[in-house]
Amino acid sequence: MREIRALVTVGGRYAGEAEPFAVDSPWWNDVEPVTAHLDRVLGVPTSVLRLVATATSGTRDGVVTYQVEAERVPDGGLTRSADPDLAPAVRAAEPGRVLPADAPRVDCRLPDAEVVERVVENDPASALRHARPASHLVGARVYQEFLDHVEPSERVYHLGNPEAEPARAQSFEV
C-alpha cells in the first residue's frame, strides 16, 4: 500500500497540494493510479512530473510525494500547504507529457560531431555501412528546408520527395 502526497503545479507554477490518498499498487514508478485518482478528484487531466520524496528506502510502499502537473487550475480539491520551490520550472506540458525547463535542447535526430568521430575512429567499416542510409536522412532534411523557402508555384514539382528519403534510408541493410 502506498500513501500519496501530490504537489500540484499548473504551467510550472505551484497551485497547491491534494488531500493525501492511498493506492493499491505498492510500486513508486506506477503512476497511473495516482493520475487516475487525481484526474477524478481535481476534475482536470494530470501528469506526474517527478518523485519528490519518500518516507522509506527501496522502491515500494510508504508515503510518496510526487510533483504533478495539472492541465489547468482545478476548481477545488487543493490546499496551499507545500513549498512551491519543490517544483521545477516547466517549459511545456500537455496531458501525459511534460518538458522540464532545464531539459537540454539537443537535436536527437542527428548525432553530433563527437559521436560521429568516435564511431569512425573505433569502427570505420560500421561508419561506412551507416553513412549511406544517413545521407538519405540528411537529404530529407535539406530537401524540406529547400521546400520551405521555394516559390509556391515550384512546390508541385517536388511533392513527396522529402517524404521518400526516409524510406530509401530504411531500404539499406546496415
- The predicted-structure confidence for 30-86, as pLDDT tens digits, reads as follows 999 999 999 999 999 999 999 988 888 888 899 999 999 999 999 888 886 655 556
Query: What confidence score (pLDDT) does residue 127 get?
Result: 73
Q: What is the topology classification, in CATH, of domain 2-100?
A: Nucleoside Triphosphate Pyrophosphohydrolase (3.90.79)
Query: What confidence score (pLDDT) does residue 3 get?
Result: 95
- 16 and 76 Cβ atoms separated by less than 8 Å: no
User: Structural domain boundaries of the chain?
Assistant: 2-100, 113-170
Q: Which residue has the higher pLDDT, 69 or 91?
A: 69
Is residue 174 pLDDT above 60, yes or no? no
